[in-house]
Amino acid sequence: MLTVHHLNNSRSQRVLWLLEELGVPYEIVRYQRQPDMRAPKELRAIHPLGKSPVITDNGNTIAESGAILDYIIATYGNGRLIPPAGTPERLRFTYWLHYAEGSAMTPLLLKLLFTLMPKRAPALLRPLVRKVSNTALSTLVNPQIKQHMAYWEGELGKSEWFAGNEFTGADIQMSFPLEAAAARGGLEDGHPKCVAFLARIHARPAYARALEKGGPYQVGR
Amino acid sequence: MLTVHHLNNSRSQRVLWLLEELGVPYEIVRYQRQPDMRAPKELRAIHPLGKSPVITDNGNTIAESGAILDYIIATYGNGRLIPPAGTPERLRFTYWLHYAEGSAMTPLLLKLLFTLMPKRAPALLRPLVRKVSNTALSTLVNPQIKQHMAYWEGELGKSEWFAGNEFTGADIQMSFPLEAAAARGGLEDGHPKCVAFLARIHARPAYARALEKGGPYQVGR
Protein backbone atom coordinates (compact mmCIF):
# COMPACT_ATOMS: atom_id res chain seq x y z
CA MET A 1 0.00 0.00 0.00
CA LEU A 2 1.16 3.54 -0.70
CA THR A 3 2.90 4.92 2.39
CA VAL A 4 3.21 8.61 3.21
CA HIS A 5 6.15 9.45 5.44
CA HIS A 6 4.44 12.31 7.17
CA LEU A 7 6.15 15.08 9.08
CA ASN A 8 3.85 17.23 11.19
CA ASN A 9 3.33 20.82 9.97
CA SER A 10 4.98 20.22 6.64
CA ARG A 11 4.49 19.98 2.93
CA SER A 12 3.40 16.36 3.32
CA GLN A 13 -0.03 17.67 4.31
CA ARG A 14 -0.53 18.38 0.60
CA VAL A 15 0.11 14.74 -0.25
CA LEU A 16 -2.52 13.52 2.20
CA TRP A 17 -4.96 16.01 0.73
CA LEU A 18 -4.34 14.79 -2.82
CA LEU A 19 -4.81 11.15 -1.76
CA GLU A 20 -8.08 12.07 -0.04
CA GLU A 21 -9.26 13.91 -3.17
CA LEU A 22 -8.59 10.82 -5.28
CA GLY A 23 -9.80 8.29 -2.69
CA VAL A 24 -6.52 6.35 -2.88
CA PRO A 25 -5.92 4.04 0.12
CA TYR A 26 -2.71 4.84 1.97
CA GLU A 27 -0.99 4.46 5.27
CA ILE A 28 0.85 7.09 7.27
CA VAL A 29 4.17 6.75 9.05
CA ARG A 30 4.47 9.72 11.37
CA TYR A 31 7.54 11.79 12.20
CA GLN A 32 7.63 14.68 14.67
CA ARG A 33 9.72 17.78 14.20
CA GLN A 34 12.50 18.26 16.73
CA PRO A 35 12.28 21.22 19.13
CA ASP A 36 14.46 23.22 16.67
CA MET A 37 11.78 22.52 13.98
CA ARG A 38 14.11 20.32 11.95
CA ALA A 39 12.96 16.93 10.70
CA PRO A 40 14.09 13.98 12.86
CA LYS A 41 17.03 11.82 11.77
CA GLU A 42 14.76 8.77 11.24
CA LEU A 43 13.55 10.30 7.98
CA ARG A 44 17.05 9.80 6.55
CA ALA A 45 16.44 6.06 6.54
CA ILE A 46 13.74 6.72 3.91
CA HIS A 47 15.57 9.34 1.84
CA PRO A 48 19.20 10.50 2.23
CA LEU A 49 18.20 14.15 2.60
CA GLY A 50 15.81 13.34 5.43
CA LYS A 51 13.15 15.71 4.15
CA SER A 52 9.39 15.38 4.02
CA PRO A 53 7.28 14.62 2.03
CA VAL A 54 8.46 11.24 0.87
CA ILE A 55 6.23 8.40 -0.28
CA THR A 56 7.00 4.75 -0.90
CA ASP A 57 4.86 2.73 -3.29
CA ASN A 58 5.45 -0.49 -5.20
CA GLY A 59 9.15 -0.46 -4.40
CA ASN A 60 9.59 3.16 -5.46
CA THR A 61 10.69 5.92 -3.09
CA ILE A 62 9.64 9.35 -4.31
CA ALA A 63 10.48 12.76 -2.84
CA GLU A 64 9.75 16.38 -3.88
CA SER A 65 6.14 17.52 -3.64
CA GLY A 66 5.84 18.21 -7.36
CA ALA A 67 7.22 14.80 -8.34
CA ILE A 68 4.97 13.06 -5.78
CA LEU A 69 1.85 14.82 -7.04
CA ASP A 70 2.84 13.99 -10.61
CA TYR A 71 3.34 10.31 -9.70
CA ILE A 72 0.12 9.91 -7.72
CA ILE A 73 -2.02 11.63 -10.34
CA ALA A 74 -0.43 9.65 -13.19
CA THR A 75 -0.72 6.33 -11.32
CA TYR A 76 -4.07 6.64 -9.54
CA GLY A 77 -5.83 9.62 -11.10
CA ASN A 78 -7.45 8.04 -14.18
CA GLY A 79 -7.45 11.49 -15.71
CA ARG A 80 -8.74 13.26 -12.61
CA LEU A 81 -7.12 16.45 -11.23
CA ILE A 82 -5.02 16.99 -14.36
CA PRO A 83 -6.00 18.82 -17.56
CA PRO A 84 -5.87 16.74 -20.76
CA ALA A 85 -2.49 16.46 -22.52
CA GLY A 86 -1.92 18.95 -25.31
CA THR A 87 -4.08 21.72 -23.82
CA PRO A 88 -2.88 25.14 -22.60
CA GLU A 89 -4.31 24.17 -19.21
CA ARG A 90 -1.95 21.19 -19.08
CA LEU A 91 1.04 23.48 -19.68
CA ARG A 92 -0.15 25.74 -16.88
CA PHE A 93 -0.61 22.71 -14.62
CA THR A 94 3.01 21.61 -15.12
CA TYR A 95 4.21 25.18 -14.74
CA TRP A 96 2.54 25.61 -11.34
CA LEU A 97 3.89 22.28 -10.12
CA HIS A 98 7.40 23.63 -10.71
CA TYR A 99 6.79 27.27 -9.84
CA ALA A 100 5.38 26.63 -6.35
CA GLU A 101 8.64 25.26 -4.95
CA GLY A 102 11.09 26.48 -7.58
CA SER A 103 10.15 30.17 -7.31
CA ALA A 104 7.27 31.06 -4.98
CA MET A 105 8.57 29.47 -1.79
CA THR A 106 12.03 31.05 -2.01
CA PRO A 107 11.19 34.56 -0.74
CA LEU A 108 8.72 33.06 1.74
CA LEU A 109 11.50 30.91 3.16
CA LEU A 110 13.77 33.96 3.34
CA LYS A 111 11.03 35.81 5.21
CA LEU A 112 10.88 33.03 7.79
CA LEU A 113 14.66 32.92 8.05
CA PHE A 114 15.17 36.66 8.53
CA THR A 115 12.28 36.76 11.01
CA LEU A 116 13.76 33.95 13.09
CA MET A 117 17.39 35.11 12.99
CA PRO A 118 17.01 37.96 15.52
CA LYS A 119 14.89 35.76 17.80
CA ARG A 120 17.57 33.09 17.92
CA ALA A 121 20.53 35.44 18.25
CA PRO A 122 22.24 35.87 21.63
CA ALA A 123 20.54 38.71 23.55
CA LEU A 124 23.52 41.02 23.29
CA LEU A 125 23.70 40.73 19.50
CA ARG A 126 19.95 40.75 18.94
CA PRO A 127 19.52 44.47 18.06
CA LEU A 128 22.28 44.23 15.45
CA VAL A 129 20.94 41.03 13.96
CA ARG A 130 17.49 42.60 13.85
CA LYS A 131 18.88 45.60 11.97
CA VAL A 132 20.58 43.38 9.40
CA SER A 133 17.51 41.18 9.04
CA ASN A 134 15.13 44.10 8.67
CA THR A 135 17.27 45.59 5.93
CA ALA A 136 17.23 42.28 4.03
CA LEU A 137 13.47 42.01 4.51
CA SER A 138 12.66 45.54 3.38
CA THR A 139 15.05 45.77 0.43
CA LEU A 140 15.00 42.22 -0.91
CA VAL A 141 12.46 39.84 0.54
CA ASN A 142 9.22 41.76 1.08
CA PRO A 143 9.21 43.35 -2.41
CA GLN A 144 9.61 39.89 -3.94
CA ILE A 145 6.76 38.43 -1.89
CA LYS A 146 4.56 41.34 -2.93
CA GLN A 147 5.37 40.71 -6.57
CA HIS A 148 4.48 37.02 -6.29
CA MET A 149 1.22 37.72 -4.44
CA ALA A 150 0.17 40.28 -7.06
CA TYR A 151 0.96 37.70 -9.72
CA TRP A 152 -1.26 35.05 -8.07
CA GLU A 153 -4.06 37.57 -7.70
CA GLY A 154 -3.84 38.33 -11.41
CA GLU A 155 -3.78 34.67 -12.39
CA LEU A 156 -6.79 33.85 -10.18
CA GLY A 157 -8.57 36.69 -11.96
CA LYS A 158 -8.16 34.87 -15.28
CA SER A 159 -9.63 31.55 -14.12
CA GLU A 160 -11.19 30.17 -10.95
CA TRP A 161 -8.32 27.77 -10.32
CA PHE A 162 -4.63 28.01 -11.08
CA ALA A 163 -4.59 25.78 -14.17
CA GLY A 164 -8.00 26.79 -15.51
CA ASN A 165 -11.65 26.51 -14.54
CA GLU A 166 -11.30 23.05 -13.00
CA PHE A 167 -9.70 22.21 -9.67
CA THR A 168 -6.46 20.26 -10.27
CA GLY A 169 -3.30 19.10 -8.54
CA ALA A 170 -1.81 22.51 -9.38
CA ASP A 171 -4.12 24.03 -6.77
CA ILE A 172 -2.94 21.51 -4.19
CA GLN A 173 0.68 22.32 -5.03
CA MET A 174 0.04 26.09 -4.92
CA SER A 175 -1.81 25.89 -1.61
CA PHE A 176 1.46 25.83 0.33
CA PRO A 177 2.87 29.16 -0.90
CA LEU A 178 -0.56 30.77 -0.48
CA GLU A 179 -0.88 29.41 3.08
CA ALA A 180 2.65 30.61 3.82
CA ALA A 181 1.91 34.05 2.37
CA ALA A 182 -1.26 34.23 4.46
CA ALA A 183 0.73 33.31 7.58
CA ARG A 184 3.69 35.61 7.04
CA GLY A 185 3.42 37.65 3.84
CA GLY A 186 0.32 39.81 4.33
CA LEU A 187 -1.79 37.98 1.75
CA GLU A 188 -5.08 39.05 3.37
CA ASP A 189 -4.41 42.71 2.46
CA GLY A 190 -5.43 43.50 -1.08
CA HIS A 191 -5.60 39.97 -2.51
CA PRO A 192 -9.29 39.05 -2.34
CA LYS A 193 -9.03 36.35 -5.01
CA CYS A 194 -6.20 34.61 -3.15
CA VAL A 195 -8.15 34.78 0.10
CA ALA A 196 -11.21 33.36 -1.66
CA PHE A 197 -9.04 30.58 -3.11
CA LEU A 198 -7.91 29.60 0.39
CA ALA A 199 -11.51 29.66 1.64
CA ARG A 200 -12.58 27.41 -1.26
CA ILE A 201 -9.88 24.83 -0.64
CA HIS A 202 -10.47 24.83 3.12
CA ALA A 203 -14.14 24.07 2.45
CA ARG A 204 -13.35 20.92 0.46
CA PRO A 205 -14.29 17.72 2.33
CA ALA A 206 -11.05 16.01 1.23
CA TYR A 207 -9.02 18.89 2.70
CA ALA A 208 -10.80 18.44 6.03
CA ARG A 209 -10.29 14.66 5.98
CA ALA A 210 -6.56 15.13 5.27
CA LEU A 211 -6.27 17.49 8.25
CA GLU A 212 -7.95 14.90 10.46
CA LYS A 213 -5.51 12.23 9.30
CA GLY A 214 -2.41 14.42 9.32
CA GLY A 215 -3.02 16.18 12.60
CA PRO A 216 -2.94 19.88 13.42
CA TYR A 217 -1.35 21.95 10.68
CA GLN A 218 0.06 25.39 11.12
CA VAL A 219 2.38 27.07 8.65
CA GLY A 220 5.32 28.86 10.30
CA ARG A 221 4.87 32.62 10.83
CA MET B 1 9.76 29.46 -34.24
CA LEU B 2 10.54 28.68 -30.63
CA THR B 3 11.96 31.79 -28.95
CA VAL B 4 14.24 31.74 -25.92
CA HIS B 5 14.15 34.92 -23.87
CA HIS B 6 17.74 34.70 -22.78
CA LEU B 7 19.27 36.53 -19.84
CA ASN B 8 23.06 36.48 -19.74
CA ASN B 9 24.61 34.38 -16.95
CA SER B 10 21.35 32.69 -16.01
CA ARG B 11 19.39 29.48 -15.97
CA SER B 12 18.36 30.08 -19.57
CA GLN B 13 21.76 28.72 -20.59
CA ARG B 14 20.31 25.26 -19.77
CA VAL B 15 17.47 25.80 -22.24
CA LEU B 16 19.87 26.67 -25.08
CA TRP B 17 21.87 23.56 -24.25
CA LEU B 18 18.80 21.31 -24.38
CA LEU B 19 17.74 22.80 -27.73
CA GLU B 20 21.24 22.21 -29.11
CA GLU B 21 21.19 18.60 -27.85
CA LEU B 22 17.89 18.00 -29.66
CA GLY B 23 18.76 20.04 -32.76
CA VAL B 24 15.58 22.11 -32.44
CA PRO B 25 15.69 25.41 -34.40
CA TYR B 26 15.17 28.45 -32.17
CA GLU B 27 15.79 32.14 -31.96
CA ILE B 28 17.21 34.11 -29.08
CA VAL B 29 15.99 37.42 -27.71
CA ARG B 30 18.74 38.74 -25.46
CA TYR B 31 18.42 40.58 -22.15
CA GLN B 32 21.33 41.95 -20.13
CA ARG B 33 21.43 41.93 -16.35
CA GLN B 34 21.43 45.38 -14.75
CA PRO B 35 24.53 46.49 -12.83
CA ASP B 36 22.86 45.20 -9.60
CA MET B 37 22.60 41.76 -11.30
CA ARG B 38 18.79 41.88 -11.48
CA ALA B 39 16.97 41.08 -14.69
CA PRO B 40 15.93 44.13 -16.75
CA LYS B 41 12.31 45.33 -16.65
CA GLU B 42 11.77 44.41 -20.33
CA LEU B 43 11.47 40.76 -19.33
CA ARG B 44 8.21 41.61 -17.54
CA ALA B 45 6.58 42.16 -20.90
CA ILE B 46 7.10 38.43 -21.53
CA HIS B 47 6.19 37.11 -18.07
CA PRO B 48 4.78 39.10 -15.12
CA LEU B 49 7.58 38.00 -12.79
CA GLY B 50 10.25 39.19 -15.22
CA LYS B 51 12.46 36.17 -14.65
CA SER B 52 14.51 34.09 -17.04
CA PRO B 53 14.27 31.53 -18.58
CA VAL B 54 11.06 32.04 -20.45
CA ILE B 55 10.26 30.60 -23.86
CA THR B 56 7.48 31.37 -26.28
CA ASP B 57 6.36 28.78 -28.80
CA ASN B 58 3.17 28.33 -30.81
CA GLY B 59 1.35 30.96 -28.78
CA ASN B 60 2.41 29.46 -25.45
CA THR B 61 4.56 31.31 -22.93
CA ILE B 62 6.36 28.94 -20.57
CA ALA B 63 8.51 29.76 -17.56
CA GLU B 64 10.31 27.67 -14.89
CA SER B 65 13.31 25.65 -16.05
CA GLY B 66 11.72 22.30 -15.14
CA ALA B 67 8.49 23.07 -16.98
CA ILE B 68 10.41 24.36 -20.02
CA LEU B 69 12.57 21.22 -20.21
CA ASP B 70 9.47 19.07 -19.82
CA TYR B 71 7.70 20.96 -22.63
CA ILE B 72 10.61 20.92 -25.08
CA ILE B 73 11.36 17.23 -24.54
CA ALA B 74 7.67 16.27 -24.83
CA THR B 75 7.14 18.43 -27.93
CA TYR B 76 10.40 17.99 -29.85
CA GLY B 77 12.20 15.06 -28.25
CA ASN B 78 10.60 12.09 -30.02
CA GLY B 79 11.59 10.01 -27.00
CA ARG B 80 15.12 11.41 -26.74
CA LEU B 81 16.61 12.64 -23.45
CA ILE B 82 13.80 11.11 -21.36
CA PRO B 83 13.56 7.56 -19.99
CA PRO B 84 10.54 5.53 -21.14
CA ALA B 85 7.29 6.00 -19.19
CA GLY B 86 6.69 3.45 -16.45
CA THR B 87 10.37 2.84 -15.66
CA PRO B 88 12.15 3.66 -12.39
CA GLU B 89 14.46 5.85 -14.47
CA ARG B 90 11.47 7.95 -15.53
CA LEU B 91 10.50 8.51 -11.89
CA ARG B 92 14.06 9.61 -11.13
CA PHE B 93 14.01 11.90 -14.17
CA THR B 94 10.89 13.69 -12.93
CA TYR B 95 12.29 13.80 -9.39
CA TRP B 96 15.49 15.56 -10.49
CA LEU B 97 13.56 18.05 -12.59
CA HIS B 98 11.78 19.14 -9.40
CA TYR B 99 14.61 18.66 -6.93
CA ALA B 100 17.14 20.87 -8.75
CA GLU B 101 15.18 24.08 -8.21
CA GLY B 102 12.81 22.99 -5.42
CA SER B 103 15.55 21.83 -3.03
CA ALA B 104 19.14 21.93 -4.28
CA MET B 105 19.30 25.58 -5.28
CA THR B 106 17.89 26.91 -1.99
CA PRO B 107 21.02 26.64 0.18
CA LEU B 108 23.16 27.67 -2.80
CA LEU B 109 21.09 30.83 -3.15
CA LEU B 110 21.44 31.46 0.59
CA LYS B 111 25.18 31.06 0.24
CA LEU B 112 25.28 33.72 -2.45
CA LEU B 113 23.02 36.00 -0.41
CA PHE B 114 25.00 35.77 2.83
CA THR B 115 28.25 36.19 0.90
CA LEU B 116 27.01 39.34 -0.83
CA MET B 117 25.34 40.93 2.21
CA PRO B 118 28.56 42.08 3.93
CA LYS B 119 29.99 43.29 0.62
CA ARG B 120 26.96 45.47 -0.04
CA ALA B 121 26.59 46.78 3.52
CA PRO B 122 27.71 50.34 4.37
CA ALA B 123 31.38 50.28 5.38
CA LEU B 124 30.65 51.13 9.00
CA LEU B 125 28.23 48.22 9.42
CA ARG B 126 30.23 45.75 7.37
CA PRO B 127 31.99 43.94 10.24
CA LEU B 128 28.66 43.36 12.01
CA VAL B 129 26.90 42.20 8.88
CA ARG B 130 29.81 39.90 8.19
CA LYS B 131 29.50 38.39 11.66
CA VAL B 132 25.77 37.76 11.23
CA SER B 133 26.27 36.34 7.73
CA ASN B 134 29.10 34.07 8.79
CA THR B 135 27.00 32.64 11.61
CA ALA B 136 24.16 31.88 9.19
CA LEU B 137 26.62 30.32 6.75
CA SER B 138 28.38 28.11 9.29
CA THR B 139 25.33 26.96 11.26
CA LEU B 140 22.68 26.70 8.57
CA VAL B 141 23.81 27.10 4.98
CA ASN B 142 27.15 25.32 4.61
CA PRO B 143 26.02 22.11 6.38
CA GLN B 144 23.03 21.91 4.02
CA ILE B 145 25.18 22.40 0.94
CA LYS B 146 27.51 19.68 2.17
CA GLN B 147 24.60 17.32 2.65
CA HIS B 148 23.32 17.95 -0.88
CA MET B 149 26.78 17.53 -2.43
CA ALA B 150 27.31 14.23 -0.60
CA TYR B 151 23.91 13.12 -1.86
CA TRP B 152 24.80 13.91 -5.50
CA GLU B 153 28.09 12.11 -5.11
CA GLY B 154 26.25 9.03 -3.84
CA GLU B 155 23.68 9.14 -6.64
CA LEU B 156 26.36 9.50 -9.32
CA GLY B 157 27.96 6.43 -7.80
CA LYS B 158 24.85 4.39 -8.58
CA SER B 159 24.65 5.35 -12.26
CA GLU B 160 26.66 7.40 -14.71
CA TRP B 161 23.95 10.03 -15.11
CA PHE B 162 21.36 11.34 -12.68
CA ALA B 163 18.39 9.40 -14.03
CA GLY B 164 20.28 6.22 -14.97
CA ASN B 165 22.92 5.13 -17.43
CA GLU B 166 21.72 7.39 -20.24
CA PHE B 167 22.21 11.13 -20.48
CA THR B 168 18.80 12.86 -20.11
CA GLY B 169 17.18 16.22 -19.48
CA ALA B 170 17.64 15.53 -15.76
CA ASP B 171 21.38 16.04 -16.22
CA ILE B 172 20.77 19.35 -17.96
CA GLN B 173 18.49 20.44 -15.11
CA MET B 174 20.96 19.29 -12.44
CA SER B 175 23.89 21.00 -14.13
CA PHE B 176 22.95 24.35 -12.59
CA PRO B 177 23.17 23.32 -8.91
CA LEU B 178 26.40 21.44 -9.64
CA GLU B 179 27.89 24.45 -11.41
CA ALA B 180 26.79 26.69 -8.53
CA ALA B 181 28.28 24.29 -5.97
CA ALA B 182 31.52 24.22 -7.94
CA ALA B 183 31.58 28.04 -8.00
CA ARG B 184 30.67 28.65 -4.36
CA GLY B 185 30.11 25.42 -2.41
CA GLY B 186 33.47 23.65 -2.51
CA LEU B 187 32.32 20.87 -4.84
CA GLU B 188 35.84 20.15 -6.09
CA ASP B 189 36.90 18.90 -2.63
CA GLY B 190 35.92 15.29 -2.06
CA HIS B 191 33.33 14.87 -4.80
CA PRO B 192 35.20 13.26 -7.69
CA LYS B 193 32.06 11.88 -9.32
CA CYS B 194 30.44 15.31 -9.37
CA VAL B 195 33.60 16.85 -10.81
CA ALA B 196 33.70 14.13 -13.47
CA PHE B 197 30.05 14.79 -14.26
CA LEU B 198 30.81 18.47 -14.89
CA ALA B 199 33.78 17.52 -17.08
CA ARG B 200 31.58 15.13 -19.11
CA ILE B 201 28.88 17.72 -19.74
CA HIS B 202 31.39 20.43 -20.61
CA ALA B 203 32.85 18.09 -23.23
CA ARG B 204 29.55 17.66 -25.04
CA PRO B 205 29.47 19.43 -28.42
CA ALA B 206 25.92 20.69 -27.78
CA TYR B 207 27.05 22.29 -24.52
CA ALA B 208 29.82 24.13 -26.36
CA ARG B 209 27.43 25.25 -29.13
CA ALA B 210 24.98 26.58 -26.51
CA LEU B 211 27.77 28.58 -24.89
CA GLU B 212 28.68 30.07 -28.25
CA LYS B 213 25.07 31.09 -28.83
CA GLY B 214 24.35 32.28 -25.30
CA GLY B 215 27.54 34.16 -24.70
CA PRO B 216 29.96 33.99 -21.78
CA TYR B 217 28.53 32.14 -18.82
CA GLN B 218 29.75 32.44 -15.28
CA VAL B 219 27.81 31.28 -12.26
CA GLY B 220 27.89 33.76 -9.37
CA ARG B 221 30.47 33.05 -6.67
Q: In DSSP terms, which residues pair with B164 in a beta bridge?
A: B161
Torsion sign, CA atoms A6, A12, A14, A19: negative
Nearest CB to B71; choose among A71, A91, A154: A91
Q: Which residues of B64-78 are buried (b: 16+ CB within 10 A; e: fewer)?
A: bbbbbbbbbbeebbe
Which residue out of A44, A93, A94, A155 would a mutagenesis test of the B interface target, given it has the greatest number of B Cβ atoms within 10 Å? Answer: A94
| CA proximity to A106, closest of A65, A64, A140, A129 | A140
What is the number of domains present in chain A?
A: 2
Whether the ω angle into residue B83 lies within 30 degrees of 0, i.e. cis, is no
How distant is the Cα of B18 from the closest Cα of chain A, in angstroms? 18
pLDDT tens digits for A181-203?
A: 999 999 999 999 999 999 999 99
The CATH number of the domain holding residue B74 is 3.40.30.10
Nearest-5° angle of CA B32, CA B221, CA B27? 30
DSSP type of residue B101: I
Q: Which pLDDT score is estimated for A52? A: 86
One-character DSSP codes across A26-65? EEEEEE---TTSPPPGGGGGTSTT--S-EEEETTEEEESH
Whether the ω angle into residue B177 lies within 30 degrees of 0, i.e. cis, is no
Nearest CB to A67; choose among B63, B98, B131: B98
| CA proximity to B104, closest of A8, A10, A51, A215 | A51
- Which ranges constitute the DSSP H helices of B159-214? 169-184, 192-202, 205-214
Q: How many CB pairs below 8 A link A and B?
A: 107
* Shared-domain flag, residues B61 and B105: no
Q: In DSSP terms, which residues pair with B3 in a beta bridge?
A: B27, B56
Nearest CB to B102; choose among A102, A110, A113: A102
Which residues have CB under 8 Å from A167's CB, separation 6+?
A81, A161
Q: In DSSP terms, which residues pair with A60 in a beta bridge?
A: A57
Rounded Cα gap, residues B220 and B114, in angstroms = 13
* Shared-domain flag, residues A144 and A120: yes
* Shared-domain flag, residues B76 and B113: no
B221 inside domain: no
Q: Which domain holds residue B13?
A: 2-82+208-214
Average pLDDT estimate for A124-133: 90
CB A31 within 8 A of CB A8: yes
Burial class, B183, CB count within 10 angstroms (exposed 0-12 / middle 13-18 / buried 19+) = middle
HSE-CB for B217 with a 13 A CA cutoff: 23
B96 inside domain: yes
Rounded Cα gap, residues B191 and A11, in angstroms = 30
* Shared-domain flag, residues A105 and A189: yes
Rounded Cα gap, residues A186 and B149, in angstroms = 35
Torsion sign, CA atoms B210, B211, B213, B217: positive
* Shared-domain flag, residues B68 and B99: no
How distant is the Cα of A63 from the closest Cα of chain B, in angstroms? 7
ipTM of the complex: 0.95
Helix or strand (DSSP H, E) at B150: helix B142-158
* Shared-domain flag, residues A60 and A93: no
A159 inside domain: yes
pLDDT tens digits for A144-177?
A: 999 999 999 999 999 999 999 999 999 999 999 9
How distant is the Cα of A204 from the closest Cα of chain B, in angstroms? 27
B190 inside domain: yes
Nearest CB to B99; choose among A64, A109, A133: A64
- Long-range CB pairs of A131-134 (<8 Å, 24+ gap) are A131/B125, A132/B117, A132/B121, A132/B125, A132/B128, A132/B129, A132/B132, A132/B133, A133/B132
Q: Which pLDDT score is estimated for B83? A: 98
* Shared-domain flag, residues B95 and B181: yes
* Shared-domain flag, residues B194 and B93: yes
Q: Which pLDDT score is estimated for A36? A: 79
CB A75 within 8 A of CB A60: no
Nearest CB to B60; choose among A62, A67, A91: A91
Q: Which residues of chain B have a CB within 8 Å of the CB of A60?
A: 88, 91
* Shared-domain flag, residues A200 and A95: yes
pLDDT tens digits for A35-94?
A: 877 888 889 989 999 888 999 999 999 999 999 999 999 999 999 999 999 999 999 999
A172 inside domain: yes
Q: Which residues of chain B have pLDDT under 50?
A: none
- Which ranges constitute the DSSP H helices of A57-168? 65-76, 88-99, 105-120, 126-136, 142-158
* Shared-domain flag, residues B15 and B100: no
CB A145 within 8 A of CB A108: yes
Nearest CB to B94; choose among A48, A70, A105: A70
Residues of B with CB under 8 A from a CB of A: 48-49, 51, 60, 62-67, 70-71, 88, 91, 94-95, 97-99, 101-103, 105-106, 109-110, 113, 117, 121, 125, 128-129, 131-133, 136, 140, 147-148, 150-151, 154
* Shared-domain flag, residues A50 and A109: no
Q: Which pLDDT score is estimated for A221? A: 65
B157 inside domain: yes
How distant is the Cα of B99 from the closest Cα of chain A, in angstroms? 6
The CATH number of the domain holding residue B177 is 1.20.1050.10
CB B187 within 8 A of CB B194: yes
Q: Taking the CB of residue B45, how many other CB atoms lie within 10 A of it?
A: 9
* Shared-domain flag, residues B101 and B71: no
Q: Which pLDDT score is estimated for B36? A: 79
B10 inside domain: yes
Q: Which residue of A has its CA nearest to B90?
A: A71
How distant is the Cα of A42 from the closest Cα of chain B, in angstroms? 16
B219 inside domain: no
- Contact: B60, A102; criterion CB under 8 Å: no
